[in-house]
Chains A and B, each alone.
Chain A
């Protein structure tokens, strides 16, 4: 082991660590502010817009971008810009909800699998494996299709196909942490296992979970749009980026902006979250183990 070097350069590494911590905090603060800003812009823009997202205006059908309608209007004369903002709240918000629920569910299953005996572990991980065996989108389409195409069923379907990665990550990291000295100490000191999980295991898995979660969030936006585009998600007349793409498909030749702008919105949103996730992984560095993919 490298105790010699640790002892020799302890001061230096301490400094590095604190600076690193500050960078991380600053980044998380910025990220949080940015997300809030985007949401605020979407909400206020939507509220300030003179148009309602779902009210048709048949005199202005399919009008190209103009001063009155910045991004044009669709086949029912609805303002595309307003619908885009309104739909963004749905896309981003639903994806947040889905991944949050998936993360909570997966984390709980992973923790239980890793720490409550071999039988539980094998049973839960086989269940996880079998969920992994279904292609994500196909399974979601099937579930949403069987239950009936609406928003609630889509959310349920996407939660159901999205929790397994969290479970696997939490289980493997948790099993690794159990043998660390500080967890052994906690056991020797007689802490109950639930408290050990809550205080010692979970906080040390947190950074990796965060990275995986940003990843899942952006993928989830794609899934929601995909399902809505296929008609299994958010239903017309409600706006959602994928649903807008579906609406605009019929007019692709004559009014391409009906597809271009929602497409750009999906692209930039997913890209932004992915880039934030990458930066997060860099900052968390070796803390975030097991998320190389």
Chain B
């Protein structure tokens, strides 16, 4: 549903991202990983038109909303229509002066719903992410980090996107909350068949979660494999090192569970 061909970002003549190509199927999870500074977050920003990127082709075909086709430079307002983005630091991603409910509701601003419709949509999204309805009137400083991240998740969800970008969605949270939020993410994906693109440096998380793994290194694609293949036989020497390091640190489970659904043809 999302197909990216030869994405390139150059800032001040220096290529930050170069020759990035990948695709994601409907309902699947793509984990983008790599060391710090490898361009993971820049890739998300480029895909949302927040960086001056050039595409040979960017095609996004959601089922319910308008498809986006793009060649060359990004034009118009930032953001792929039909997608939403959950950021790393939930406190920074929420306006400190606005109640959570208002922040969540802003996500469907363009649909110009009536007040009751908006209320219903917000409370449904909040119950989807297991937030108590009473929290809608709280401000970000009055809730825990986990609740704030759930509110960000609800903000993405209320727009019924078919694709959600996550930028290190769990790294601001402690282990227990990480587990809970990850479970919520999974439940949402099961329920709505949403496609996830997750930037993470936690290979353990990727191992249990991803259908497909994209490894970046210095702004280039180092590996682009299905998760099963990647964790058994990574494409390159660098990926082996990466996996080895993660195993030594205990971030990676010994046995990689095969969590993917039926094998889908991945011809990217």
Contact = CB atoms under 8 A, between A and B. Distances in A.
Interface of A: 1, 3, 6-8, 10-11, 14, 17-18, 21, 180-182, 184-191, 195, 199-200, 203-204, 206
Contact of B98 (A3, A189, A199): A199
Given A187-B78, A200-B95, A200-B98, 20 more contacts: A3-B172, A6-B91, A7-B173, A7-B174, A8-B174, A11-B144, A180-B92, A181-B93, A182-B93, A182-B94, A182-B96, A184-B50, A184-B87, A187-B77, A188-B79, A189-B106, A189-B159, A190-B110, A191-B106, A204-B97
A184 B41 CA distance: 14
A188 B48 contact: yes
The 4 A-B residue pairs whose C-beta atoms are closest, nearest first, are A188-B79, A203-B97, A181-B93, A190-B110
Contacts of B79: 187-190
A182 B92 contact: yes
A217 B173 CA distance: 45
Nearest to B77: A190
Given A185-B85, A203-B97, A204-B95, A17 B141 contact: yes
Contacts of A10: 144-145
Contacts of B48: 188
Contacts of A185: 85, 87, 93, 155
Contacts of A188: 48, 78-79, 84-85
A199 B98 CA distance: 8
Interface in B135-183: 141-145, 155, 159, 171-174, 177
A6 B177 CA distance: 13
B142 A14 contact: yes
Nearest to B90: A181
Contacts of B171: 3
A7 B96 CA distance: 17
Chain B, interface size: which category?
Answer: 35 or more
B208 interface: no
B109 A18 contact: no
Interface of B: 48, 50, 77-79, 84-85, 87-89, 91-98, 103, 106-107, 109-110, 141-145, 155, 159, 171-174, 177
Contact of A18 (B88, B142, B172): B142
A206 B97 CA distance: 10
Contacts of B50: 184
10 contacts: A6-B145, A10-B145, A14-B144, A21-B141, A181-B87, A181-B89, A188-B78, A188-B79, A189-B155, A199-B98
Contacts of B95: 182, 186, 199-200, 203-204
Nearest to A3: B172
Nearest to B165: A188
B100 to A, nearest CB: 12
A184 B152 CA distance: 13
Nearest to B168: A3
Interface centre among A1, A7, A11 (most CB of B within 10 A): A7
B233 to A, nearest CB: 33
Given A184-B50, A187-B77, A187-B79, A3 B106 contact: no
Contacts of A1: 89
Contacts of A181: 87, 89, 92-93
A153 to B, nearest CB: 39
A3 B89 CA distance: 8
Nearest to A177: B95
A289 B98 CA distance: 20
Given A181-B87, A188-B48, A189-B109, A7 B93 contact: no
Nearest to A7: B174
B258 to A, nearest CB: 31
A204 B183 CA distance: 34
B268 to A, nearest CB: 26
Contacts of A206: 97
Contacts of A186: 95, 106
A248 B2 CA distance: 81
Which of A7, A10, A182, A203: most chain B CB closer than 10 A? A182
Contacts of A18: 141-142
Contacts of B91: 6
A190 B109 contact: yes
B10 to A, nearest CB: 20
